[in-house]
Amino acid sequence: MHDNPFRPGFGISPPMLAGRDALLDEWREVLGLGAWSPYRAALVTGMRGVGKTVLLNALEDEARARDWTVVHGTLHVGLIEVLEHDRLPALLEEQDPEAFSREWTGLTLPQIGGATTQVVQHYPREPRLESMLERLVELAEARGAGLLVSLDEVAASSLDELRRIAIAVQHLQREDRRIAIVAAGVPASIAAALDADGLTFFRRAQQVRLDTLTLAEARAAIEVPVRERGRTIGEAALDMAARASEGYPFLVQSIGARAWEYQPSVTEIVTDAVQHAVHVAHAAMGESVIVPALRGLSGRDRDYLIAMAEDDGPASTIDVAERMGATSGNAGRQRARLLDAGVIVAPERGRVDFAIPRMREHLRAHPHDAQLGLPTAARETFRDGAGATEQPGRELDGPAVG
């Protein structure tokens, strides 16, 4: 019972990939022999923690199960060099029967007769991305399969790498070769890729925007792994856990993991365990998801979020602009950037809401996180002698150390 089935870390595949079956079915068509689909070139986007990397992992597993060759890379400056000098030559050496051969170098006379040979490497580790991808496709097609190029963490800083790979894949797709490509990133990075010069290929790609899970999918993602590991979860506890996750895959795994560990020797997971799990998981959202999302924003973008957080639900864009002391035009620019970044959504005209669960509550409890580096309430107690006074409601754990 101590073998926790939940995987709350980023990019770690959970025991059950809830809510993504329909998407995987689309790619299964691509992987099917002779099938054509717009998903042969796809861009996957969604907020941090919604399951982009996990979906790529599942797609790569599907491809390998059908004997496809998979070329995976996390996009960063220098990826092309890694592919050309290491990964692609290694794949070719592994798969191509002609990667090595022996050439005659002479006779061994006057001994018993024979010949000396030397090994000739057909794929020296030299930069030639395009030709190596083409040869990998040929080898895969010869065994009735294909080549999948899977790229994670699309970023503005690595668009040159994405461009080079896209051009090579586009050339092979135009020749109707059996090759597919999928790239994933947060909305702002995908938007930058679509606007970049030389990446028009991706403007025609299938756009896949990952959403949060439905309540039924969240319930299944918690209940099924628990049951398969020999434990149960009460109906009230299951409903509490699923609703507290708000359908956010990271929270589903985080709540599930902590509920499992609360009393691991007890067969049934009850509401007390879930209450504890929800409290810990919601607190962990701050450092794991919310603060990293805030780091990529400008100061005025964060001001916009602070103004939104004053409302309990969707906020009026007019009210937000007034709270910021900004014109509607200036506030509109912040709104557009936050929408592109996948941090907020526009549920209806003239209103905005947080896309990332618990961000409103986090900003209310930790408003200084929106400034990211400005003095916090704790530091301010050391100004003008205020540090000599204990903060109300806060106990000191021990003597201060310098």
pLDDT digits (tens, 9 = 90+) for 213-260: 999 999 999 999 999 999 999 999 999 999 999 999 999 999 999 999
CATH code at position 243: 1.10.8
Same domain, 242 and 336: no
Of residues 104 and 351, more confidence is placed in 351
Same domain, 64 and 146: yes
Residue carrying structure tokens 């998903």: 39
What's the whole-model pTM score? 0.76
Confidence of residue 84 (pLDDT cuts 50, 70, 90): very high
Average pLDDT over residues 81-101: 87
Same domain, 54 and 69: yes
- Tell which of 232, 258, 293 closes a domain: 293
Same domain, 144 and 281: no
Domain that holds residue 185: 21-209
Average pLDDT over residues 151-175: 93
In a domain, 400, yes or no: no
Sign of CA pseudo-dihedral 385, 387, 390, 394: positive
CATH code at position 324: 1.10.10.10
- Among 397, 394, 357, residue whose Cα is nearest residue 378: 394
Strands 315-316 and 100-107: unpaired
Confidence of residue 102 (pLDDT cuts 50, 70, 90): very low
Query: Structure tokens of 307?
Result: 């103004």
Strands 147-152 and 69-74: parallel
Q: How far apart are CA 348 and CA 114, in angstroms?
A: 83
| Pick from 13-27, 183-197, 291-305, 362-376: least confident | 362-376
Same domain, 285 and 323: no
Same domain, 124 and 190: yes
Average pLDDT, the chain: 85
Instruction: Give the burial string for 232-265 (b: 16+ CB within 10 Å, else e).
Output: ebeeebbbbbbebbbbbbbbbbbbbbbbbebeee
Confidence of residue 372 (pLDDT cuts 50, 70, 90): low
- Tell which of 243, 263, 293 closes a domain: 293
Same domain, 360 and 234: no
Same domain, 78 and 147: yes
In a domain, 8, yes or no: no
In a domain, 395, yes or no: no
HEC assignment per residue over the chain: CCCCCCCCCCCCCCCCCCCCHHHHHHHHHHHCCCCCCHHHEEEEECCCCCCHHHHHHHHHHHHHHCCCEEEEEECCCCHHHHHHHHHHHHHHHHHCCCCEEEEEEEECCCCCCCEEEEEEECCCCCCCHHHHHHHHHHHHHHCCCCEEEEEECCCHHHHHHHHHHHHHHHHHHHCCCCEEEEEEECHHHHHHHHHCCCCHHHHCCEEEECCCCCHHHHHHHHHHHHHHCCCEECHHHHHHHHHHHCCCHHHHHHHHHHHHHHCCCCCEECHHHHHHHHHHHHHHHHHHHHHHHHHCCCHHHHHHHHHHCCCCCCEEHHHHHHHHCCCHHHHHHHHHHHHHCCCEEEEECCEEEECCCCHHHHHHHCHHHHCCCCCCHHHHCCHHHHHHCCCCCCCCCCCCCC
Same domain, 86 and 200: yes
Same domain, 230 and 301: no
CATH code at position 81: 3.40.50.300
In a domain, 64, yes or no: yes
In a domain, 15, yes or no: no
| Pick from 65-69, 83-87, 288-292: least confident | 288-292
In a domain, 153, yes or no: yes
Same domain, 192 and 258: no
In a domain, 268, yes or no: yes
In a domain, 16, yes or no: no
Q: How far apart are CA 60 and CA 173, in angstroms?
A: 19
- Tell which of 164, 187, 209 closes a domain: 209
Same domain, 158 and 277: no
Report the share of the chain in percent with pLDDT over 70: 83
Q: What total number of domains does the chain contain?
A: 3
Confidence (pLDDT) at 11: 62
| Pick from 196-200, 209-213, 288-292, 387-391: least confident | 387-391
Q: How far apart are CA 214 and CA 368, in angstroms?
A: 32
pLDDT tens digit sequence for 303-357: 999 999 999 999 999 999 999 999 999 999 999 889 877 889 889 999 999 989 9
